[in-house]
Amino acid sequence: MQIGVLTEQAPYERRVALTPESAGRLIAAGHSVHVQSGAGLAADEDDDAYRAAGAMIGKTPDEILGIVDLLTAVGQLDQQTASRLSPGTAVVGLASPKDGRGPAGVLVDRHATFFALELLPRITRAQSMDALSSQAMVAGYRAGLVAAERLPRFFPLLMTAAGTVPPAKVLVLGAGVAGLQAIATAKRLGAVVEAYDVRAAAAEEIRSLGAKFVSLDIESQTSTTGGYAREQAADAQARQRKALTPYVAAADAVITTAAVPGRPAPLLVTAEMVEKMRPGSVLVDLAADNPNGGNCELSRPGEDVRHGGVLIHGGRNVPSELAGHASRLYGANMSAFILAMCRDGVLLSTPEEIAADEIAAACCVLLKGEFR
Ligand code: NAD
C-alpha cells in the first residue's frame, strides 16, 4: 500500500501522523511511505530521518496525494486537502468527519473511506492503537508541569535555614488517563495530591498513585460503558460543584481533566468557586478547548486569565506542546492500526470485511463515500 504523511494544517498543530520510526515499521511490512518535505519538522523529525527509515519525500501535498491509497492524519483535514484526495483514498485520523466539523461533504464526493481513531474500542487487541490514551497521557503530564510552573510557590516540601516551606496542595478533577498522569507528575514534583472522579472505580487508581481520593457525599457512577463516565443531570452537577467547593478553595493548584465522550465537558468549577481560592493559586483546565467550554467557567483555550488573584490556564491542543513524544506515540498507534486493518497488505475495504472486524467496525465512519 502507498501511505502518505502531510504537514498538518490545523492551527497550533505541531504533531506529525507518522514519525520515521513508525514509518519504518510500515515499510518493513512491505508498504511504501511518502512524506511531504518538512512534515515532521515541528515534531523535531527532519526529511533525512524519514529517508533513512526508507520513506520517500515529496515536495508538495499534490505529489503525495496523487500517489497514496491511505493518508495518515492527526487533526482535521482542511477542505483544500480533502478536495485533492484521489478518488477512493482512505484516511486514518483523530477527527471523525461525522462530528459535524471538517470537510465531510468533500470526503463523500471523493468517495473516501475514513477510520476515526477516537472511536477505537477499548479492548485488549486495540491497546497498542489507543491514540486517545497516548495523547491524554501527554496532556496530563504537561498539565502537571504547567501548574507547577504557573504557581508562584514551591511544589515540594523544603526545609531550609530560612524556615520550612510546606508542599503545595494539588487537586485533580477527573482521573482518567490524563488525570492519572497529572497526579503522577504533581507527585513526582513533591506536591500533596488529592483527586476526584465521578466513576467509583477511579478511587483505587488514584490511591495506587499515592494520592488521596476525595470522597464526596454524592452519588458516584459504579457502572460505566466502555470505562467512560456518563453525563450527569443538571441537579447532580450542581450538587457535585457544591460538594467540591471547599476542596477547590483549599488547593494551591487545581487541574481539571473531566470529559464525557461526545458530550460537552462537565462544568466543575464556577467563577464563584474560583473566588474562594487563595490569591496566587492556579487552575489548569485541560478541557478548555472543548467547543462548548471547559471544566472551569472562566478558562479560555490557550490563554492565561486572571480572576482576582487566581490564574486560570486554558489548555489548547496540549499534546502538541510535547510534539516530539506525542508524535512518537501517535505514530506507533497509527502504524499498529494500519497493520491491523490490512489483510495480505491490503486495507479492509468491503462492508463485510469491515463488519467482521470489531476494531474496523467501530472506527470506520465513512466507507467509499458512504457514512456508516
Ligand atoms: P475521558 O477522557 O473520557 O474522561 C476523563 C475523566 O473524566 C474520566 O475518568 C471520567 O470519569 C471523568 N469525568 C467525567 N465526568 C466527570 C465529572 N462530572 N466529574 C468528575 N470526573 C468526571 O476518559 P479517559 O481518560 O479516556 O478514560 C476513561 C476510563 O477508561 C478510565 O478508567 C481509563 O483508565 C479507562 N481506559 C481503559 C483503556 C483500555 O482498557 N484499553 C484504555 C484507556 C482508558
Same fold, 2-129+322-371 and 139-321: yes
Mean residue pLDDT across the chain: 96
Give the contacts of 163 (CB within 8 A, at least 6 positions apart). Answer: none
- pTM of the prediction? 0.96
Whole-angstrom Cα distance, residue 230 to residue 274?
25
Residue spans of the domains in the chain: they are 2-129+322-371, 139-321
Catalytic (active-site) positions: 122, 127, 130, 133, 228
Q: Is the CATH number 3.40.50.720 carried by domain 2-129+322-371?
A: yes
Between the alpha carbon of residue 265 and those of residues 11, 168, 217, 297, 369, the distances in Å are 21, 27, 22, 11, 31
**Tens digit of each residue's pLDDT (9 = 90 or more) over 66-100:** 999 999 999 989 999 999 999 999 999 998 887 77
Mutate-to-test residue for ligand 1 from 260, 285, 290, highest number of ligand atoms within 8 A of CB: 260
Residue 225, classified by CB atoms within 10 Å of its CB into exposed (0-12), middle (13-18) or buried (19+), is exposed
Mutate-to-test residue for ligand 1 from 197, 225, 289, highest number of ligand atoms within 8 A of CB: 197
Alpha helices for the chain (secondary structure H): 20-28, 47-52, 61-65, 79-83, 104-109, 131-150, 177-188, 202-208, 234-250, 271-274, 323-340, 351-356, 358-363
Take residue 261 and report the three cell numbers written for it: 465522550
**Tens digit of each residue's pLDDT (9 = 90 or more) over 167-223:** 999 999 999 999 999 999 999 999 999 999 999 999 999 999 999 999 998 888 887
Cα–ligand 1 centroid distance for 109 (angstroms):
36
Residue 270 has pLDDT above 90, yes or no: yes
Within 6 A (CB) of ligand 1 lie: 122, 127, 130, 132-133, 136, 173-179, 197-199, 202, 227-229, 232, 240, 257-261, 266, 268
- Residue 57: which pLDDT band, with cuts at 50, 70 and 90? very high
The domain 139-321 belongs to what CATH superfamily? NAD(P)-binding Rossmann-like Domain (3.40.50.720)
More confident residue, 346 or 96: 346
Provide φ and ψ at 342, rounded to 5°: -105, 145
Mean per-residue pLDDT for 342-346? 95
Whole-angstrom Cα distance, residue 233 to residue 245?
19
Residue nearest to atom 39 of ligand 1 (CA): 122
Mean per-residue pLDDT for 97-124? 91
Cα–ligand 1 centroid distance for 36 (angstroms):
35
Q: What's residue 336's pLDDT? A: 98
Take residue 148 and report the three cell numbers written for it: 507547577
- Residue 19: which pLDDT band, with cuts at 50, 70 and 90? very high
Cα–ligand 1 centroid distance for 289 (angstroms):
17
